[in-house]
Structure 1
Amino acid sequence: MPKYYFVMASKKFLLCNEPTEEILRERTNYYNSIKKPIDFWLVKNPKFLGSLEVSEISQKLNVPTAAIISTNSLFITWLKLRLGFVVTGIFTKDIL
């Protein structure tokens, strides 16, 4: 099963308070320039993740959440350092 890494925060923080759109646009442009397939996704209200750990995080936040999911652990680590107030995690799924 493939491993997926994520950063998760409140939807307001991730989509309004941080330059997430710019970060993802620049990353997309870079991937396109080197002809690499996109390996990350922005997901609002990531309830489908389904793992107990993620569910507990969502409940603690008690607000709508958003997540950036990737198969690239280094990208997620970089996002954690860049964004700061996010939660990171890992999960495995056959199909998203």
Structure 2
Amino acid sequence: MQTYYYVLASQRFLLEEEPLAEVLKERRRNYQEREKALDFWLVKQPAFLAAPEMASVQAQCPQPCAAVISTDQQFIIWLKLRLEFVLTGEFPAPSATIADPLASLEAVV
């Protein structure tokens, strides 16, 4: 089982009000230069929030939401400091209530 860390906020805040795309693009470029495998993902309407143990977190976050999920805790701490108005946390997966840590509840059109 792997521990996943996240920053969570409304999609509007993360995708429109903050320069998150630029931050993630720069991080991706840095990983490519260092030949490091990606360990972070942007997920709209993350399914892990549907788990019963995440009910209080889901209740705190404006909908629709988005999350940056990573296996690198330091990256998530850095993002929290950079973005400020986000929720952070962690969860183990796969588990009985979170089968796929990167799953989205957003319908693909």
Same fold (TM over 0.5): yes
Mapping 1:3-82, distance limit 5 Å: 3-82=3-82
CA shift for structure 1 position 53: 4.7
Normalised by the length of structure 2, the TM-score is 0.81
* 8 Å Cα contact 2:49/2:57 also seen in 1: no
**Aligned: 1:88 with 2:108:** no
Mapped partners of 1:66, 1:55: distance in 2: 16
Instruction: Give the letter aligned to residue 45 of structure 1.
Output: Q
Contact 1:9–1:66, Cα closer than 8 Å, also in 2: yes
Secondary structure in structure 2 of the residue aligned to 1:78: helix
Does the CA-based 8 Å contact 1:11-1:65 persist in structure 2?
Answer: yes
Q: How many residues align?
A: 96
| Post-superposition offset of 1:9 | 0.4
CA-atom RMSD, angstroms?
1.5
List per-residue Cα deviations over 1:34-53 (Å, max 9, x = no partner): 00000000000012344345
Q: How many percent identity over aligned positions?
A: 48
* Larger helix proportion of the pair: 1
